[in-house]
Amino acid sequence: MADTPTARLSRRTLLATGLVLLPGGAFAAKGKVVTILGDSITAGYGLPARAALPVQLHAALLKLGAHSVVRGAGVSGDTTAGGAARVDFSVQPDTDVCVVALGANDLMQGVSPKVVRANLDKIVRRLKQRNKGVVLCGIEAPAEIGRNYAREFNAVFPSLARTHGVALYPNLLAGVARVRALNQADGIHPNAQGVQVIARRLAPVVAKAMAARP
């Protein structure tokens, strides 16, 4: 790779995601592999790659002394059903810990909490069958959507985490949702600063899950 500005930027990006350029152009990973199975938040909707959650989570983990390779497996608009359909494809065999960050689009579409739970159950069961560590991220439904629906939806994530004995991060958008300064113009997707907040809060939970892996 020639020493051009583009090449230098590429090297910085690789380092930020836990990859190191070796002689001959090969790449080697450093640290345990974390895959984020999610939607547009994981995919970095509206943001450059360096500001998206995978890179920012890697940086936050590094500050905690947890060396990692963080892979984004986010598909904008994806639901828990979509995640269940692609979990084997999206979560590669060398993944140590999978962060499951789905449910926001189900919420926006008013999908039954029972269906959401069933889909997430399939995902978590499959990951455990494959001997992957799991961090389940919840999404908090606002009361305005309907108190009964919100109560049932919000109960899905802690209940499922208890059932399967996996780590729970209760609300992926904690500290970010409804904070204008931390969201893009649509009021839904976090901006770069919002993603940093998410990464900083999520990192200790992921680091603990990483440490539990052999």
**What is the spatial distance between Cα 208 and Cα 210, in angstroms, rounded to a whole number?**
5
Q: Would residue 121 show up in a list of annotated catalytic residues for this protein?
A: no
In single-letter form, the type of residue at position 119 comes to N
Has 68 been annotated as catalytic?
Answer: no
Please enumerate in sequence order all residues whose Cβ is within 8 A of that of 68, keeping only pairs 6 or more positions apart, or say none: 18, 31, 32, 33, 34, 58, 61, 62, 210
Radius of gyration of the CA atoms of the chain, in A: 17
Cβ neighbours of residue 167 closer than 8 Å, sequence gap 6 or more? 133, 134, 135, 136, 161, 205, 208, 209
In the residue annotation, 58 being an active-site residue is answered as no
According to DSSP H, which parts of 52-191 are helical? 53-63, 80-90, 104-109, 113-129, 147-164
CA atoms within 13 A on the CB side of 31: 24
Angstrom CA distances, 119 to 75, 93, 150, stand at: 16, 21, 18
Name the residue type at position 61: L
Q: Which is the catalytic residue, given 39, 58, 90, 189?
A: 189
Axis-axis angle for helices 80-90, 113-129 (nearest 10): 10
From 40, 58, 68, 78, the catalytic residue: 40
Catalytic residue ranges: 40, 186, 189
